[in-house]
Amino acid sequence: MAIKYQFNKISMQYIRKQLKIRQTALPTIKSKESALRLTVKKQKEILKRLTGKFDERIYSLSNIMRLWGEFPEEIFSLKEVILNVKKIAGVKTPELEKIDYEIKSFSRFINPVWLNTGILLLKELTEIITQLEIAKRKLIILEYARKKTTQKVNLYEKVQIPEFSDAILKIKRYLEDVDNLEKAGQKISKQRQAAQGGNS
């Protein structure tokens, strides 16, 4: 959408102010975009690493999967996932603080011997899955912020700054033309007065 302006000094001052705001902000927004681009790349690597870790762990447990049928479900439960907020390039992202589990007491005589190991494995898997979900969420947030920042850079750089500069130039030329016409009119008026004064 093209900017609206009037051909006067007040409008030109306003447009100059808007232009200066954008020219001053542009380097900061560009560096934020660059930081976000780098952060998104790193976050994708983290996500890939966590996915690989999860896949490896599941594969390593595949040979004992039949044992999980003996695992009493009521013993282990995820109680709470506590998150913190971490700012990355000015963007708020979730960060895992801790995971609280609820482990009910059980008889070591009645239940399978490997139950303690099973609980440790469940804790490990829960942590990997939680980190994986947080990493996915973080990537979505960062990619959205990067996209918005890129749009703002493009808006300032390719649309608004050129439009404001062009508007200032047009207003300046118009005001100069008006000024030149006034001066020419005054000159003609003086010449007429001088000619009339000379004739009388």
Does 114 fall in a domain?
Answer: yes
* Nearest in space to 25 (alpha carbons), one of 189, 128, 198, 157: 157
Three-class secondary structure of residue 175 per DSSP: helix
Q: Which domain holds residue 101?
A: 16-188
Percent pLDDT > 70 in the chain is: 94
In this prediction the pTM is 0.79
Q: What is the pLDDT of residues 118-157, one digit of tens each?
A: 888 889 999 999 999 999 999 999 999 999 999 999 999 9
How far is CA 60 from each of CA 26, 53, 113, 120, 130, rounded to the nearest angstrom?
Answer: 51, 11, 20, 15, 19
Does 174 fall in a domain?
Answer: yes
Q: Inform me whether the pLDDT recorded for 3 exceeds 60.
A: yes
Number of domains in the chain: 1
Backbone angles phi, psi at 95, to 5 degrees: -135, 130
Does 83 fall in a domain?
Answer: yes
Does 2 fall in a domain?
Answer: no
Kindly report the CATH number assigned to the domain that includes residue 134: 1.10.287.3240
Does 41 fall in a domain?
Answer: yes
Q: What is the pLDDT of residues 13-34, one digit of tens each?
A: 999 999 999 999 999 999 999 9
CA–CA dist 192, 73 (Å, integer): 107
Predicted pLDDT at 24: 96
Does 193 fall in a domain?
Answer: no
Instruction: Give the H or E element holding residue 193.
Output: helix 161-199
Does 111 fall in a domain?
Answer: yes
Predicted pLDDT at 144: 97
Mean pLDDT (whole number) for 110-119: 75
Does 48 fall in a domain?
Answer: yes
Predicted pLDDT at 66: 73
Predicted pLDDT at 47: 96
Percent pLDDT > 90 in the chain is: 60
